[in-house]
Amino acid sequence: MSQRLTRFFASRSGIILAGAIIGVIAPLLQKLGNPANMGICVACFERDIAGALGLHRAAVVQYIRPEIIGFVLGSMLAAYAFSEFRARAGSAPIVRFVLGMFAMIGALAFLGCPWRAALRLAAGDLNAILGLGGLAAGIAIGVQFLKNGYNLGRAPKTHTAAGWIMPLLMFSLLLLRIVAPVFAKDGPIFFSAGGPGSLHAPLVVALAAGLLIGFLAQRTRFCTMGAIRDVILMRDAHLLSGMGTLIVVAAIMNLILGQTRLGVAGQPVAHSSHVWNFAGMMLSGLAFALAGGCPGRQLFLAGEGDGDAAVFVVGMITGAAFSHNFALAGSPDKAVDGIATVGGLTPNGMGAVILGLVVCLLIGFTMRERTKEV
């Protein structure tokens, strides 16, 4: 039975089913309270967690998102249920931390990770086309490095308890979300009173959705970066069929729920600064490709015991803190006194995206290894 299920989840039907279920759940989470076109956004939600902990003080994006917690714990449940939990760590962790930081800085320049780019497109936000184009461009650069021997090295097995650290951190976040303690006067835990951080689906619903997606994604290896990488690297559309299904199903759900708004300017929590939408996601795509997984996949890997993926996640959360503390994140289009203004990046943000691209290229060029073949 377990073998048969494993075969099913690894099949084309399995990945399509996972994409379809995510495509149903994400727009529903928006209907139930999550911000617009943000039913699920790994980057935004990790940024909100950084804010809730006071790692940055952008008051409108602070909340402990149960979906993220569910992704890790759901994956862990699946890994244990199918005897796949394997603690491993030690494949260039500091490099993965830096890749995580710049992946987040790029994503926040665009205002969303690949998951949200897909959901924005499914809701009619045409800026997402540039985001997804940038993502594909960044991944294509990463594939060239992979073809030329880029490799961060082997991760040895480690103590099972080491693999439990990220799931336990997530469980601690869940406790902080439920108890909502105040640690100092005017201090964290912060929950936004206005803005996107104040918009959220009920705790139990969000956690259950996260657990289900985490479980399914661990079984099917759902990955929004791998979807594009595998097509470029080996003409394999297996993972892409999952991501494609997600977009189609989410688009249908948005139409049914009345959440579709076709256009470019003034899209919710988005800007129409085209160059930086493209460049931000190009940075993210390159960083994800060099790290071997999209931000969701890194959470699922962390749930099944991968300590290096866990370090990438911590890098992303740290990157979010820098992004808001140093004013690197994109600001959305807004209407001021009835006049529409285009949002986008500050000069700091532009500099950070360029710096990130340079750092990722250096990592790609310098970290090649001839893997020892026995």
Positions touching another protein (CB under 8 A) are 6, 10, 82, 84, 86, 88, 91, 146-147, 151-152, 154-157, 221, 226, 229-230, 233-234, 236, 238, 292-293, 306, 308, 371-374
**How does 209-219 read in b/e, with b if 16+ C-beta sit within 10 Å?**
bbbbbbbbbbb
Q: Give the separation between CA 100 and CA 123, rounded to whole angstroms.
A: 27
In the bound state with another protein, the residue whose beta carbon lies nearer, of 38 and 78, is 78
- Per-residue b/e over 90-123, b at no fewer than 16 CB within 10 Å? ebbbebbbbbbbbbbbbbbbbbbbbbbbbbbbbb
Smallest distance from another protein to CB 1, Å: 16
Shortest distance in whole angstroms from residue 331 CB to another protein: 35
At closest approach, how far in Å is the CB of 11 from another protein? 9
- Nearer of residues 64 and 152 to another protein, judged by Cβ: 152
**Minimum gap (Å) between residue 267 Cβ and another protein:** 33
Q: Contact 117/127 with Cβ under 8 angstroms?
A: no
Q: What's the CA dihedral at 248, 252, 253, 259 to 10 degrees?
A: 110
| Closest CB to another protein among residues 366, 371 | 371
| Residue 163 or 330 with smaller CB distance to another protein | 163
Q: How far is the CB of 364 from another protein (least distance, A)?
A: 14
Question: In the 8-state DSSP scheme, what is residue 103?
Answer: H
Q: Which residues of 50-83 are buried (b: 16+ CB within 10 A; e: fewer)?
A: bbbbbbbebebbbbbbbbbbbbbbbbbbbbeebe
Tokens of 35: 């911000």
